Amino acid sequence: MSRSGTSQHDEPQRQRALIEASLVRAVEPTDELVLPLRRSVVVQYQTAASGAVELWLYYGDRTISFDEPALFPFGEALAQQSRFVAHVATTWGNGYPWERVGVLLEQLVEAGVLHLADWREPVELTGGPCPAPLPPGPARTARTWDECPALTEDLVGRALDPGHLELVIPVFRVAHPALDADGRQVGESNVFPKALRLDTPTRWRTCVYPGTRYQPDRPMNVTALKAMRAHWPEVMTALAVLRERYLERFPQARAGWTVGDLERLATFVLAVPTYQLARVAGRVGNGALHPALSSMFRVTDGLRMTMHQMLFVPVGEPTLSPDAPMNAAEILAYAERNHSFHSEHGVCAGPRAMIETFLAVLVDGATPPQSGSPGPAMRRALDDWEAAFDYAMHGLRAYAAVFAVWPAMTRAYETLAGLADGWAGVPSAAVDALRARLHGHLETLRASTFLATERWRVDREAVYADMYARCGNGLAGGAGTDLPLTAAVAGRRAPRAEAVDAALDRHLRTRLGSGDEATVIGLRECLIEFALQLQALIRVGVVEQAAINRLLGRPAPSVAFGARELDIHNLLQGADSRRLPFLIDEIRALLGISLEIDEHDIHVATLDTDGAAAGRPSPAPGGRWPAGSHPSDPTTTVRNAS
């Protein structure tokens, strides 16, 4: 048997003392052992890289693997026990000698899986009502992205033009803060950003479903479950229709689903209600969305998030390629062992039978078990499927382009930290501060992000590239639009400008001092490369955003989209989630250099003692510089061809 585990949850002092007491002596045959919350154990057989079959048990934050077939019956029997006398384990399967069983039981006690019988934790949960796990909702009124400029101004102090919305708010989150006709937000407790979540009356109960959701500290939202049940037949019928519509655009998926296919399918389903809320003509107002549409969004968002986890989260198990085959059974197994049914505060309220039905209909193409004719609101939404499909595909392409900035940014952070470390010139306070702060960010990058290694960054860029190309292939009349993201970025990359090189070089020497020519050049090259890559990615995203605006009947933006606008998504996550500051902000804070980048311009300036760009007016409200301000040295602006 091999075992692995993550850090234990915080426990009261009494419980820690009980654990420590259980480790001071060997397990005796007459000891009574407890497997608290036995129903939370998930048992799965998996094939190792060597091709050998292994038995895995998932129990809370611990995993136990058995790689010896002779021990498989032991592991299966263990998962069925709540309490047992130690020597009884010798009778499991075909029987085992105590010398073998005693060692296994001691390992399990040491890992905190088994405990001596004086363990006080409940063996079974009651499933009763419990208090809300969420803090009070910070929002006092229901607001949506219809009021985009005022909303972002209130939330982060920067007004965002509505014509840039999907470059900042991913298409699969645009509907989150909107109310349905039941008075509930589409995103329920997962509303993004958190500042828009309302304090909606909700009933919570302890989850008693077997599997990883079976635990006392994360309850389930039974109010949302009640609404889901009320519209379940209609939702399942609609999902069967949308599955077929997806296959019209991606017929190759009829031969077998991939992870990338299922992410696109799920995003398309989410776009059906979102399109009703986002389009200009015939828009469904806030509070008027039919609950069948909001319920369809919520149940399908669970699938989208699971696919996202498979593609982007390299913790627990390696990420999967967008081309990796996927089926309903493996989705359910993955979700169990990787805690995909869990959110920050609660767990999915859907019983396993409902989840299996949902996956059977949407993934396997099964006939919905209950017939439910779509009502007028659902029929209107289904009639708009082509526009919703293109909205989803353009939205994912925009997402792929602008979010590819983050691998590039973390790579730049790592390069800058290495260069600062190697400074061989005249010592200075500026260099010391740069080195110390970059090292702090490097530690955060490596300890707290999913971009900690170059391999993870390359994998993520590959997912974005696949997303951009495949979504282009699925657009109406999409032949020839499946250009790889790398090629699209290269085609929109501005020529390198000598004026920007010279200005950046001058500002770096002014701030850091002299004596290390190689490091100054390295810092300059890294910043220029990042600036050009950032601008090119923005340009690719802007093309997709323009297509979205035309599709929705939304006016074109009146200002250019740039790095300051891109950073709004980072700011909306709040201080707790923002693990790394936006690199442009750090360059400004550490080196006194302002790098302003938008789809047209790259502007370099030194800052005066007040933090404003020397010789240049301050930004207007919303972060835009006044039109026509092109100051002379010490600022340099290079306008590139669009």
**Residue 451's closest CA among 462, 441, 459, 440?**
459
What pLDDT is recorded for position 479? 52
Q: How confident is the model at residue 175 (pLDDT cuts 50, 70, 90)?
A: very high
What pLDDT is recorded for position 217? 83
Is the pLDDT reported for residue 613 higher than 80? no
Is the pLDDT reported for residue 636 higher than 70? no
CA atoms within 13 A on the CB side of 164: 25
- What is the residue whose two structure tokens read 């605006």? 549
> Which residue type is seen at 549?
N
Contact predicate 34/119, CB 8 Å: yes
Per cent of the chain over pLDDT 90 is 72
DSSP letter at 97? -
Q: How confident is the model at residue 18 (pLDDT cuts 50, 70, 90)?
A: very low
For residue 558 the two structure tokens come to: 């009146």
Q: How confident is the model at residue 295 (pLDDT cuts 50, 70, 90)?
A: very high
**Would you mind telling me the total number of residues written for the chain in this entry?**
642
CA distance 22 to 524: 59
- Topology adopted by domain 2-116: Outer Surface Protein A; domain 3 (3.90.930)
Nearby residues of 421 by Cβ (< 8 Å), 6 or more positions away: 435, 439
Strands lying side by side in the sheet with 53-59: 2-5, 62-66, 53-59, 42-47
Q: Per residue in 496-509, pLDDT tens?
A: 889 999 999 999 98
What pLDDT is recorded for position 606? 84
79 dihedral zone (left: phi>0; alpha: psi -120 to 50; beta): alpha
Contact predicate 408/538, CB 8 Å: no
Q: How confident is the model at residue 511 (pLDDT cuts 50, 70, 90)?
A: confident
Average pLDDT over residues 526-533: 96
Domain spans, the chain? 2-116, 129-142+177-383, 399-639
Is the pLDDT reported for residue 257 higher than 80? yes
Q: How far is CA 246 from CA 237, 241, 269, 487, 579, in A?
A: 15, 9, 9, 26, 37
CA distance 547 to 207: 44
Q: Per residue in 33-49, pLDDT tens?
A: 999 889 999 999 999 88
Contact predicate 192/173, CB 8 Å: yes
Is the pLDDT reported for residue 112 higher than 60? yes
Q: How many CB atoms lie within 10 A of CB 610?
A: 7
Q: Per residue in 192-230, pLDDT tens?
A: 999 999 999 999 999 989 999 998 888 999 999 999 999
What pLDDT is recorded for position 113? 92
Q: How confident is the model at residue 250 (pLDDT cuts 50, 70, 90)?
A: very high
Q: Per residue in 76-107, pLDDT tens?
A: 999 999 999 999 999 999 999 999 999 999 99
**Residue 27's closest CA among 68, 86, 112?**
86
What pLDDT is recorded for position 345? 86
Average pLDDT over residues 342-368: 94
What pLDDT is recorded for position 612? 53
Q: Per residue in 383-436, pLDDT tens?
A: 999 999 999 999 999 999 999 999 999 999 999 999 999 998 888 888 999 999
**Bond preceding residue 634 cis, omega within 30 of 0:** yes
**Residue 324's closest CA among 466, 474, 458, 481?**
466
Is the pLDDT reported for residue 25 higher than 80? no
Average pLDDT of the chain? 88
Is the pLDDT reported for residue 15 higher than 50? no
What pLDDT is recorded for position 625? 32
Global pTM exceeds 0.85: yes
CA distance 1 to 561: 56
Q: Lowest mean pLDDT: which of 35-49, 75-89, 447-461, 480-494?
A: 480-494
Is the pLDDT reported for residue 622 higher than 80? no
Is the pLDDT reported for residue 177 higher than 70? yes
Q: How confident is the model at residue 136 (pLDDT cuts 50, 70, 90)?
A: confident
For residue 545 the two structure tokens come to: 């955003």
Question: Dihedral sign, CA of 79, 83, 84, 85?
Answer: positive
Q: How confident is the model at residue 23 (pLDDT cuts 50, 70, 90)?
A: very low
